[in-house]
Amino acid sequence: MKTGKVWLVGAGPGDIGLLTVKATEIIKEADVIVYDALIGDSLFSLFPKSVECISVGKRSGNHTMPQEQIDKVLLEEALKGKKVVRLKGGDPFLFGRGGEELELLAENDVPYEVVPGITSPIAVPAYNGIPVTHRDFTSSLHIITGHKRKGSAEDIDYGALVRTEGTLVFLMGIARLPFICGGLLEAGMDPDMPAAVLQQGTTAGQKRVVATVGTLEEEVKRQGVETPAIIIVGKVCSLADAFAWYEKLPLAGSRVIVTRPRGMISGMASRLRKLGAEVLELPSIETVAREDQSGLEAALDEMASYSWIVFTSPTGVRVFFDVLKKTGRDVRSLAGVKIAAIGTGTKKELSDRNIIVDFVPSVYDGETLGRELSKLVGSEDRILIPRAALGNHELVAALEAAGAEITDVPTYDTIDVSQDLVDEKKLFEEDKIDCAVFTSASTVRGFVSRNPGLDFSLVRAACIGKQTKHAAEACGMNAYMSEEATMDSLAQLVISMKGR
């Protein structure tokens, strides 16, 4: 049997935007992903649909799977001929036991690669306005683990650290903060030396407590911090307030769930991330083209008899043109036919195919599309509507009332999507989600379907359109609606919801 391969991949400090290009490519091609608890939840959106996921749940002092067993899992899966990704928070070789995990692979001649990751001792201070080196303050950086092996004696040479006069970053040391500060003070460090604790850096949970070595323990007790967090000591900590930038972003500190269909989610997620949000891409539905496209194929055979084609979604456009190509046709088949699109997203999908849209309604929903388009058509018109099987009935009713002949063809189905990598119910119950973004009533229904038992009054819903908002309210959600049915307007709604 052919031996597989293992990639030891650094997942970075939490922000999905800090994952390297190489890491992203390798994750998307994996057969098996063995991951730690410390990787950011947003990274799950990159996992292939068919990948086997193995959580080893490693956190400081709490290992779901012993290290020796993790090593064996990597070996066993590779020997099955699989592409195995060992996904580790931060960088795999910085206190990540990456070297230990390679030993068994090397002994058994299993091929492997190492993909370095952006590490928290540099990235987390940067997100908090703290440059770890600065010519006016220090020219050296020292990274120390504050976690000692169980039963082992303290082995940090505090005197040597103080003499470096460099920036000190302690990882996994929050539980030992009193001993670290005490050790530095006993070794002669000035009690007024700036110091900070940085919580959950590069994520929505980011928080910093800035004080001095002499007062940091007391200040942390007063303000409170959650793990994971790092301790940083040095004059550069005094720059935090002046150089802070992350919290100035409109959605800094916000964690948002985006529920758009798989394959359509990245545009909205990208908008929100640029505004500072931590985005969990958790599609609640998936659109699947129907195997039987005989209805659309029959309509294409009679294309010359149609005066309008009405597209109600970008997916409908994609499926239509896929079938057009499959049947040996191109855009010349649409000569003389006018095109209507329900909104800007659908219009863009058509524009990308060099199709100029003749009509877009003033409000981007099926009811308005039907009402306004009905004023432009009559009994002499034949209209093709290739769309989802569960389409808007008001659209057809309005056009038929105008006397038009309607061919309403279901070209794709909308399927509820389940996922078990992120416990959404727990996140809402612990008030760790600021809002969920819904772009259709079907995304609301899919979300409800996969979260049985959730008190939906805990969900603050950012919605496009009246139908979506009504669906969310019907489930008991606190629903808000964007002024326009566009992605930009929806992003502005999410901003306006912050702090409400």
CA angle (126, 132, 135) in 5-degree steps: 125
Query: C-alpha 103: how far from its chain's center?
Result: 33
Reduced DSSP (H G I as helix, E B as strand, rest coil) percent helix, strand, coil of the chain, to 5 = 40, 20, 40
Ordered DSSP codes for 183-212: HHHHTT--TTSEEEEEESTTSTT-EEEEEE
Residue 142 is which amino acid? H
Q: What are phi and psi of 33, to 5 degrees?
A: -125, 120
Give catalytic residue positions. 36, 58
Helix (H) or strand (E) holding 276: none
The answer to whether 38 touches 59, Cβ cutoff 8 Å, is: yes
Q: In what order do the strands lie in the sheet with 5-10?
A: 52-55, 32-35, 83-88, 5-10, 112-115
If you write DSSP's letter for every residue of 136-157 in order, what string do you get? Answer: TTBS-EEEEE----TTPPP---
Which strands, in side-by-side order, build the sheet including 285-289?
285-289, 405-416, 382-388, 308-311, 338-341
SS3 state of residue 364: coil
Q: How far apart are CA 478 and CA 497, in angstroms?
A: 11
Distance CA 133, CA 435 (A): 37
CA-nearest of 33, 11, 27, 28 to 88 is 11
| Under 8 Å between Cβ of 126 and 152 | no
Question: Are the C-beta atoms of 371 and 401 separated by less than 8 Å?
Answer: no
The whole-angstrom separation of Cα 397 and Cα 385 is 13
